[in-house]
Chains A and B, each alone.
Chain A
Amino acid sequence: MTTAYSQALDRVTRVRGVRGAMLVAGDDGLVIAEQLMEGIKGSAVAALASSLATRLRRAMAAAGVGNSLFWHLQCDKGALLVVFSGSGVLVVAVAEADVNVGLVRLELLRAAEAVG
């Protein structure tokens, strides 16, 4: 993993309640870099996150609300948060349910800016 990617993910995983973070190629759903807790299947999560992101992006474009910038899948026991970088890379965080969503969003946006 390159230092730039590693540093970008570090910023996200440092937030309390974040269980892991990864960079995913938006077009094919392959993992670019990851820092995940043991037990999380990175490649499967990446594929599903990418597929969900594509559907959302198309639906939002059709609805006329512009490009999808950030999304947050809220679940009983945690959350998946995703930011789109300009180059089509998804910055993904897996977090606990009570995580500070605003802070994770901010760090994801910074990470997305860093990876370009």
Chain B
Amino acid sequence: MPDDIRALSAQLAQDPQSLVFLRLAELLRQKRQLDAALRVAISGLERHPHLADAHDLYARVLADKHDYERAFDEWDMALRIAPNHTGALKGLAFLYFKVGDVAQARAHLETALRVDPDDVTITQALEMVQQGVPDEGLDAGPATPAEAPASAAEVAPLEDARVFAGLEGAEEGLLLLDPAGRVLGGALKDRHGTDVTDAVAAYLAGVSQEAARTAKLLGLGNWTGLAAEGGEGNVFLKQPSPEAMLLVVRERGVPMGRLAVIANRAAQAASRWLERQV
């Protein structure tokens, strides 16, 4: 395999526009040389931004690095370019299953199966989803010896007790509050690692009612989200239910649009968790 990597690297060096970067990055990914795979994938994507396979590849590397938010964006992009891309459909199914959205996971896998009925990996993944096998059994990409699917018994079940179980950075930058500013789940730390959960919760008490009053006064209907830019970070507020408010905090480098996507997914997870508490 190292010879293959060397040969493909040489080929790519000779012709940087070639699509050989797809094979090279995939090989590196399978060898768990993830940083190198990432570099090759990004470089390829820069040259071929409209190639769905390039987005799919980049997403798989990101998923291997547990950067699920960006992986989601890349698979989403791959599907926008090629709506029947089975790799992207499988990838998104993997991520949906990871956050406990079995219905979406199944829907994506069923679409993939309609596109490629002979792909046994899709059939297997669909069976796992239907049987409720934990997410580690679903692979985001072609299996390698190091990451062969574990048996259900070997893998811990999805932890339902945590609000944001399955979401990347589950206990960081996500905070679920009741209208009085009491913490329901999640936690916040500032840049110095100090826990600021209670202080932020206290200041946010009443924001939901005030936002509702403002929207009503202006005849704008119900408020659906509140995005705010800070000098060193961005925040997004949502209401997963009338009795709860969700705060998502990310560094300034995360664009507002992506922050909104993250907040939507976290709100869905929070909503499901709140329903289970009844």
The B227-278 residues at the A interface (CB cut-off 8 A) are 227-235, 247, 249, 252
CA distance A55 to B220 in the complex (A): 21
Interface contacts beyond A63-B235, A74-B225, A75-B222: sample of 18 additional A-B pairs, CB < 8 Å, sorted by A = A45-B217, A45-B218, A55-B207, A56-B207, A58-B203, A59-B203, A59-B204, A63-B188, A63-B247, A64-B196, A69-B231, A72-B226, A72-B228, A73-B225, A75-B215, A77-B220, A80-B215, A80-B220
Interface set of A (CB-CB < 8 Å, partner B):
39-41, 44-45, 48-49, 51-52, 55-56, 58-60, 62-80, 94
CA distance A51 to B231 in the complex (A): 20
Which of B207, B218, B220 counts the most A-chain CB atoms under 10 A from its CB? B218
Interface set of B (CB-CB < 8 Å, partner A):
188, 190-192, 196, 199-200, 203-204, 206-207, 210-211, 213-215, 217-235, 247, 249, 252
Pairwise interchain contact B200-A63, C-beta atoms closer than 8 A: yes
Using known A-B contacts A64-B191, A73-B223, determine if residue A48 contacts B249 with beta carbons closer than 8 Å. Answer: no
Using known A-B contacts A59-B203, A63-B190, A63-B249, determine if residue A76 contacts B230 with beta carbons closer than 8 Å. Answer: no
Can you list 27 A-B contacts with CB-CB less than 8 angstroms, sorted by A residue number? A40-B218, A41-B217, A45-B218, A48-B214, A55-B207, A59-B204, A59-B247, A63-B196, A63-B230, A64-B190, A64-B233, A68-B230, A69-B230, A70-B229, A71-B228, A72-B226, A73-B214, A73-B223, A74-B223, A74-B226, A75-B220, A76-B220, A76-B221, A77-B221, A78-B221, A80-B218, A80-B220
